[in-house]
Amino acid sequence: MIEVIKSVDDLARQKWDALVPTMGALHIGHQSLIKLAKKEGERVIVSIFVNPLQFENKEDLKNYPKSIDADIKLAEAVGASALFIPSEQVMYPGNIEKISAGSIGEIYEGASRAEHFSGVLTVVKRLFDLVKPKVAVFGEKDFQQLFLIKQMVTQLKIPIKIISAPTIRDKSGLAVSSRNIRLGEDGEKVAQVISRALAKQTFEQMQEEISSEPGFKLDYLEVIDENSFEKVKTTTQNKRVIIAGWVNQIRLIDNMPMGNQQ
Strands (E), 42-143: 44-48, 82-84, 135-139
Residues in the chain: 262
SS3 category, 56: coil
Decide if 116 is catalytic: no
CA distance 65 to 1: 24
Q: Which of 27, 30, 116, 125 is catalytic?
A: 30
User: Which residue from 81, 67, 93 is spatially nearest to 14, judged by alpha carbons?
Assistant: 81
- Which H or E run contains 59? helix 58-63
> What single DSSP character describes residue 173?
S
- Which H or E run contains 169? none
Active site residues: 30
